Amino acid sequence: MEIDRERTSQDHITRKQREDKEEEEEEEEEEERVKLNPIVVLLVGAPGSGKSTFCDHVMKNCPRPWARICQDTINNGKAGTKIQCLTSAGSALKHGKSVFIDRCNLDKEQRADFLKLGGPQVEKHAVVLDLPAKLCISRSVKRSGHEGNLQGGKAAAVVNRMLQKKELPKLGEGLTRITFCQDEKDVQDTINTYNALGPSDSLSSGCFGQKNANAKIQLGIMKFLKKVDSPGDARSEANVSQKCVHNEVSKEKDHWIEGTQNCSVPSGHACEDVKDCDKVEMIADGNASDNIPTLAFPSISTADFQFNLEKASDIIVEKVEEFISKIGNARLVLVDLSHGSKILSLVRTKAAKKYVDSNKFFTVVGDITRLHSGEGLNCNVIANASNWRLKPGGGGVNAAIFSAAGPALESATKERAGSLKPGKAVVVPLPPTSPLFTREGVTHVIHVLGPNMNPQRPNFLNNDYVQGCEVLREAYSSLFEGFASIVRSYGGSSKGSSGRSVESEISPTNSGQKVKREAVYESDVNKKYKGFQKDLKPSVRNYLNGKEDLDKENGRGMTKTWGSWAQSLYNIAMHPDKHKNVVIEILDDVVVLNDLYPKAQRHLLVLAIGEGLDHLADVRREHLSLLKTMHAVGLKWTEKFLDENKSLAFRLGYHSVPSMRQLHLHVISQDFNSQHLKNKKHWNSFNTPFFRDSVDVIQEVSDHGKVVLKNEDNILSMELRCHRCRSAHPNIPRLRSHISSCQALFPTGLLQNGRLVFVPSEDGTSK
DNA sequence: GTTCTAGAAC
DNA sequence: GTTCTAGAAC
């Protein structure tokens, strides 16, 4: 009893001392912890993605103390549990060590407990090693030391399974910083970042390195807007993008109208730019309420026709100066889509030097087909940098204007002229039904053809700038004269008719409009080219009859050049009757043939008959019924094949960027069982977004008048994934072996909207 | 589009 | 040594 009491008392003292000591230690630890500012870094990645290697590199070189919590080895060198990892990590944090959580952490649930470690005061980072599945598989196979196929296959299966469940981390989970690594370079950069992290340093918060869907869209927009700056741009692009970043993706308005006198010469400062913005808005607001006859024109010949920019800008300023005095109060506006446009900046500088009146001539960054709706600038006349055939197509301004104006412009143009010579222009009154008329208030389009310095285009001048400059001057003269004739014909006398009167005369509701229009129809400019049209028709006919030498004279659709080997489908489309050995069906608008190198049991091509339809990029609303015909013919053949073999499934679609010229629809069974399927490009061209389902193409053309082609550069060299279960495979032979037996249901995306054509099995599934 | 082939990857 | 890819030529 006595002894017991004594012991109890001793126990009490010991416990008390122990508690005090622990408290002291905890306080010290806390101080140490605060001083060391430890962080938790979750590595996120499949086996073989390089998580441990990442940790090793950082722990070797980074000056702060680290603990690596590895679930694979936490149990005395063997795999342990998540609880063990959490305990161990908590303890390391208490000792002021920063912690690497070296486990896959691929889904949110797996990460959640680790994100509670150390409470909110401990920063949580994620480093996502999102490397190609193929690389992870091959590394994990290698690491296991078993290179036999069986082990390799197992590793692949494990990695695949994990990657399919992968949920990329988000800041909302409780992370303060996320770094995404998609290749070895990203990994090395991230290692360097963490190596440089001293004991009390911290890294900035946010997401880094993510190339997510959003980023792609943004890139697409940037490409679309040609925001990729050309080298030697007179303006600092950094200034420009900072200046108006709020406008870049959303609607662009006003700010981009830059008066010549406000142009910032070579080294513009940000503050000047802001000033410009303010000034510009003021001008634009003024414009919105008035209706001064205005010609918006693109720089002629400097884009696709590769005319020297310095020389072109001299000529523009010279010709503008010459005409500005002749056209009364009318205005000329040089338009370019690109913010960093060199031609605009050259012209602004030169016009400013010559004191060209900035009320009568200025430059605008914007879409020439949306100057009213997009920029608040009323332009009743726009110029088109045309091709000699005066047809839609090609890229750039010509395609944009024809597309925005709708078929009305093409027919109205046809009435005026059939073709155009370099240096000439043709004035085309825009029918009031055209969206350009109703939406943008454009009453006339003036097609103008400039000199060509591009060897890939018709009438190449072979660097002869003496002739080139002459033709370019002539082109601007023809253009401005055409514009002057419009201004005159609307009673806008060269000397000071009011803008308002012009507006009233050309208003769509005005009954006098037709008469006024007729006046323009008979302008000199037009008479001249009606004759010319007859002259050139025979050559056009020759061209249509297959004289391929004339191919190069076709100024449209020339953004892509086709090698001689790429012409066979085109030749078949032009002369189906001469290719009866390969053609299995000839209809009015389409030809059907088996693919010469089928990539599946059934693989045929429905080929469009008709000139000027090289590929999807040429497709416009006017081709909608052709697209539907092609689809219907494809479906008809699919049904025939399904009658013969109900186990097949088919997709009908187009390659975004085909190798062979002439629009062709692939009808292909989804077994992909073919000796001709040999490489990544073959696979990915049918099993990534590079393959555009016919139903989607039809929808898109119907909605937008054309196909939006996102040119993702590496899409054809992407990793190989099964089109059914989406598993990744290291090479073509392995992939083929997998798809020969994969019975997974097709992804839901394919089962929607009739993208996949098949005979449903009795349980209603796609097999 | 395919074929050919050097050389990387296994 | 064999398999596979990727770039050039056509």
The string of pLDDT tens digits covering residues A108-121 is 888 999 999 998 88
pLDDT at A520: 27
A650 vs A528, more confident: A650
Lowest-pLDDT range, A16-20, A42-46, A556-560?
A556-560
Beta strands A381-385 and A331-336 are unpaired
Positions of strand B less than 7 angstroms from a protein CB: 1-3, 9-10
**How far is Cα A730 from Cα A130, in angstroms, rounded to an integer?**
16
Measured CA to C1', what is the nucleotide nearest A680? C5
CA A564 – C1' B4 distance (Å)? 19
CA A239 – C1' C8 distance (Å)? 42
Proximity of residue A732 CB to strand C below 7 A: yes
- Interface residues 666-705 of A with strand B (CB < 7 Å): 676, 678, 682, 685
Give whichever of A18-32, A337-351, A621-635 has the largest mean pLDDT: A621-635
Helix (H, G, I), strand (E, B) or coil at A590: strand
Determine contact, residues A429/A516, Cβ cutoff 8 Å: no
Instruction: Judge whether A37-208 and A564-758 match in fold.
Output: no
Query: Does residue A658 have a pLDDT over 80?
Result: yes
**How far is Cα A45 from Cα A27, in angstroms, rounded to an integer?**
36
* Mean model confidence pLDDT for chain A: 77
CA A149 – C1' B6 distance (Å)? 27
Q: What is the mean pLDDT of the segment spanning A96-110?
A: 91
As given in the structure block, the two tokens for residue A411 are 């027919």
Proximity of residue A561 CB to strand C below 7 A: no
Closest CA-bearing residue to C1' of B9: A138
Query: Does residue A577 have a pLDDT over 50?
Result: yes
Query: Does residue A722 have a pLDDT over 60?
Result: yes
Determine contact, residues A398/A556, Cβ cutoff 8 Å: yes
A350 vs A289, more confident: A350
Proximity of residue A77 CB to strand C below 7 A: no
pLDDT at A31: 64
**How far is Cα A367 from Cα A252, in angstroms, rounded to an integer?**
10
Measured CA to C1', what is the nucleotide nearest A734? C4
Helix (H, G, I), strand (E, B) or coil at A740: coil
CA A689 – C1' C8 distance (Å)? 27
Proximity of residue A736 CB to strand C below 7 A: no
Query: Does residue A502 have a pLDDT over 50?
Result: no
CA A640 – C1' B3 distance (Å)? 34
Proximity of residue A147 CB to strand C below 7 A: no
The residue extents of the domains of chain A are 1-31, 37-208, 251-535, 564-758
Proximity of residue A516 CB to strand B below 7 A: no
Q: How many CB atoms lie within 10 A of CB A719?
A: 16
Proximity of residue A319 CB to strand C below 7 A: no
Query: Does residue A437 have a pLDDT over 80?
Result: yes
Q: What is the mean pLDDT of the segment spanning A404-416?
A: 88
CA A16 – C1' B9 distance (Å)? 66
Q: What is the pLDDT of residues A196-235, one digit of tens each?
A: 888 888 888 888 887 643 433 222 222 222 222 333 333 3
Query: Does residue A318 have a pLDDT over 80?
Result: yes
**How far is Cα A122 from Cα A30, in angstroms, rounded to an integer?**
12
Proximity of residue A450 CB to strand B below 7 A: no
CA A678 – C1' B7 distance (Å)? 19
pLDDT at A393: 83
**How far is Cα A732 from Cα A714, in angstroms, rounded to an integer?**
17
Assigned fold of A564-758: HIT family, subunit A (3.30.428)
> Which band of pLDDT confidence, cut at 50, 70 and 90, is reported for residue A411?
confident
A496 vs A106, more confident: A106
pLDDT at A473: 92
**How far is Cα A374 from Cα A580, in angstroms, rounded to an integer?**
52
Proximity of residue A146 CB to strand B below 7 A: no
Determine contact, residues A66/A100, Cβ cutoff 8 Å: yes
pLDDT at A183: 80
∠ Cα A404 A308 A529 (to 5°): 50
Measured CA to C1', what is the nucleotide nearest A566? B1
Q: What is the mean pLDDT of the segment spanning A371-383?
A: 88
Query: Does residue A544 have a pLDDT over 80?
Result: no
Which of A623, A631, A664, A723 is an active site residue? A664
Q: What is the pLDDT of residues A667-677, one digit of tens each?
A: 999 999 999 99
Query: Does residue A241 have a pLDDT over 50?
Result: no
Measured CA to C1', what is the nucleotide nearest A733? C4
Proximity of residue A566 CB to strand B below 7 A: yes
Q: What is the pLDDT of residues A588-598, one digit of tens each?
A: 999 999 999 99
CA A136 – C1' C6 distance (Å)? 21
Q: What CATH architecture does domain A37-208 belong to?
A: 3-Layer(aba) Sandwich (3.40)
Positions of strand C less than 7 angstroms from a protein CB: 3-6, 10
Reply yes or no on whether A664 is catalytic. Answer: yes
